[in-house]
């Protein structure tokens, strides 16, 4: 399915609504590069969301255990809860938060710049 879509995307000229049966190697490489970066963005978003969920659940569970320990005056339970805090998960979430947002913003910026450039090229072609 991917190959058919790739073939369709490269061979179909949207500006003229016509099929171009020749695919140049540079066109194919450009499409695959763009596709790979979009898949990487999606993958990073999924990882960010899963890390947020895991860190949030850990914080809620530990907080709940601490509340129960405080209400029941159970010091051992409070100590066990503190030992189970996922500090590495929190650090990983924070690191991924900043690095992935920077990466995703860069990809969006590049995409917008390229779209604007293509739009201006089309308008210039129509004027000429």
| pLDDT greater than 60 at residue 123 | yes
- Rounded CA gap, 113 and 62, in Å? 45
**Tokens for 62?**
């530990």
pLDDT at 7: 46
| pLDDT greater than 70 at residue 98 | yes
Residues 72-86 pLDDT 10s:
998 898 888 888 888
Q: What is the mean pLDDT of the chain?
A: 76
| Spans of all domains in the chain | 38-127
Q: From the CB of residue 81, how many other CB atoms can be counted at a distance below 10 Å?
A: 19
Q: From the CB of residue 36, how many other CB atoms can be counted at a distance below 10 Å?
A: 10
Residues 36-72 pLDDT 10s:
677 777 787 888 888 889 889 998 999 898 898 889 9
pLDDT at 4: 43
- Rounded CA gap, 109 and 128, in Å? 29
Phi, psi of 12 (to 5 degrees): -95, 120
pLDDT at 22: 61
């Amino acid at each position: 399915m991917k190959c058919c879509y790739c073939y369709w995307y490269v061979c179909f000229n949207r500006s003229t609504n016509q099929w171009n049966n020749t695919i140049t190697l540079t066109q194919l490489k450009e499409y695959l590069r763009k596709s790979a970066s979009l898949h990487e963005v999606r993958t990073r978003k999924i990882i960010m969301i899963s890390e947020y969920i895991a860190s949030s659940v850990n914080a809620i569970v530990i907080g709940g255990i601490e509340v129960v320990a405080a209400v029941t005056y159970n010091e051992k339970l409070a100590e066990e809860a503190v030992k189970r805090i996922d500090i590495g998960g929190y650090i990983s979430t924070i690191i991924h938060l900043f690095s992935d947002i920077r990466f995703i913003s860069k990809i969006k910026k590049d995409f917008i710049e390229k779209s604007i450039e293509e739009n201006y090229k089309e308008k210039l072609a129509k004027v000429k």
